[in-house]
Amino acid sequence: MGSAIILGAGIMGLSTAWALARAGWSVAVVEQDAVPNPRGSSVDDHRLIRHAYGAAAGYMRMIDPAYAAWDLLFAEGGERPYVQTGVLALAHAPGGWLAESRAALRGDGHAVTDLAAADIPARYPFLSGDGIADAFHLPSGGVLLARRIVQLLAARLAARGVPIRRGQAVAVDPARGALRLADGTRLEADLLVVAAGPWGPRLLPALAARVRPTRQIIVRLAPPPAHAEAWARAPMLLDLAEDGGFYAVPPVAGTPLKIGDHRFAPHGDPEEAREATAAEAEEILAYARHRIRGLADYRVLSASACYYDVEPQERFVVERLGDRGFVMSGFSGHGFKFGALLGLALARAAGDEHLGAAISAWAAGEAPPPPGLFADLQQETTA
């Protein structure tokens, strides 16, 4: 195996560095900020993982391998920063994402329990059943404790002697596997992986035509004492309305209750401040007010912005770049859960011309995995 430079120490860059180092590559990571990076897309208390994926069966079928990849990392790191919660999905109208998810899940043999509107407050007294036309519960799925996972990966890299170099790349040359830092240093390797999150389009002009940064707002809440325990045992909540609705992450493992939405902002610059305005926070709270009973009694702990790189169809861009490069981008609002899996897949594809070409359609959710992509994963998890 040769040498590799990974640009970006978010979940994608760190996972890929970890997987390449395990495969015997000599790896170095370049990151402009501290690790974990609170300005990156990957660093927050939680990120959700779930099989429910609407009609996107390709991504639904990536979930089991994604769990296997996390298991591999967690076993190596000696901790398991994951809490299973299950999924509660609600819709204000029949059909749509919820019905597509149910059909795809049942088609693949997942146990989905249909619920009536009246079941919702009966099971979850802190929620209202108003305006629910369709609902289901799925026992699988849960919360990946994102910051802890990023820390765990950084520790694994340190243990393997992989340096994380602080520096800002100002130019990349994937044909030569090279990049130039702001201080003028030129770094070169056999392989360059650009995993720059929402900054990616700045570095790669061709990417800017396909992927753009978006500003997403999240609000952290403390439930009133009467509901705190029930919330801590609650499933993740996906509440789909005509205006898009909202999601809620239960306050597991000492984290706050978090709510957010899935609308993409029309523009976003990842250099902007991460503080959310009062109006931005209120917009998110307004989406949740009809569903979370007595929301006025919940204490707002904080509200902030996070940027991610959105691809119009939310398809991941994992593609060859020049003769010696790969780009990992377009992870939109759903990439974290696949971090370890995509890292392992890229490490496998980097040393194999056929897999290097075939990985893109799979990562875009459009094709089954090319044969051999998970060979390492299958060997290790069945060993």
Ligand X SMILES: Cc1cc2nc3c(=O)[nH]c(=O)nc-3n(C[C@H](O)[C@H](O)[C@H](O)COP(=O)(O)OP(=O)(O)OC[C@H]3O[C@@H](n4cnc5c(N)ncnc54)[C@H](O)[C@@H]3O)c2cc1C
Among 129, 335, 365, 370, which residue interacts with ligand X (rule: CB under 6 A)?
A: 335
**C-beta of 218: minimal distance to ligand X in Å?**
5
Chain residue whose CB lies nearest ligand X: 10
DSSP 8-state symbol, 28: E
Which residues, 6+ apart, have CB-to-CB distance to 366 below 8 Å?
Answer: 58, 315
Say whether residue 234 binds ligand X (CB under 6 A).
no
Say whether residue 199 binds ligand X (CB under 6 A).
yes
Task: Check the CA dihedral 270-274-278-281 and report its sign.
Answer: positive
Residue with Cβ nearer ligand X (45 or 376):
45
**C-beta of 19: minimal distance to ligand X in Å?**
13
CB-CB contact of 236 with 127 (8 Å): no
Among 61, 102, 324, 334, which residue interacts with ligand X (rule: CB under 6 A)?
A: 334
CB-CB contact of 215 with 291 (8 Å): no
Say whether residue 260 binds ligand X (CB under 6 A).
yes
Which residues, 6+ apart, have CB-to-CB distance to 114 below 8 Å?
Answer: 102, 135, 136
Say whether residue 47 binds ligand X (CB under 6 A).
yes
Residue 133, Cβ density class (10 Å: 0-12 exposed, 13-18 middle, ≥19 buried)? middle
Binding residue count for ligand X, defined by CB under 6 A? 36
Say whether residue 216 binds ligand X (CB under 6 A).
yes
User: How many distinct helices (H) and strands (E) make up the chain?
Assistant: 13, 20
Say whether residue 203 binds ligand X (CB under 6 A).
yes
Say whether residue 336 binds ligand X (CB under 6 A).
yes
CB-CB contact of 244 with 264 (8 Å): no
Residue with Cβ nearer ligand X (132 or 150):
150
24 vs 45: CA distance, rounded Å: 31
Residue with Cβ nearer ligand X (48 or 154):
48
Q: What are phi and psi of 347, to 5 degrees?
A: -60, -35
Q: What are phi and psi of 299, to 5 degrees?
A: -85, 125
- Stretch 3-32: interaction string toward ligand X, x if CB under 6 A: ----xxxxxxx----------------xxx
Residue with Cβ nearer ligand X (126 or 247):
247
**C-beta of 334: minimal distance to ligand X in Å?**
5
Q: Structure tokens of 52?
A: 């429910």
Say whether residue 196 binds ligand X (CB under 6 A).
yes
Say whether residue 308 binds ligand X (CB under 6 A).
yes
Say whether residue 168 binds ligand X (CB under 6 A).
yes
Helix (H, G, I), strand (E, B) or coil at 92: coil
Residues that bind ligand X (CB under 6 A): 7-13, 30-33, 37, 40-42, 47-48, 168-169, 195-199, 203, 216, 218, 260, 306, 308, 331, 333-337
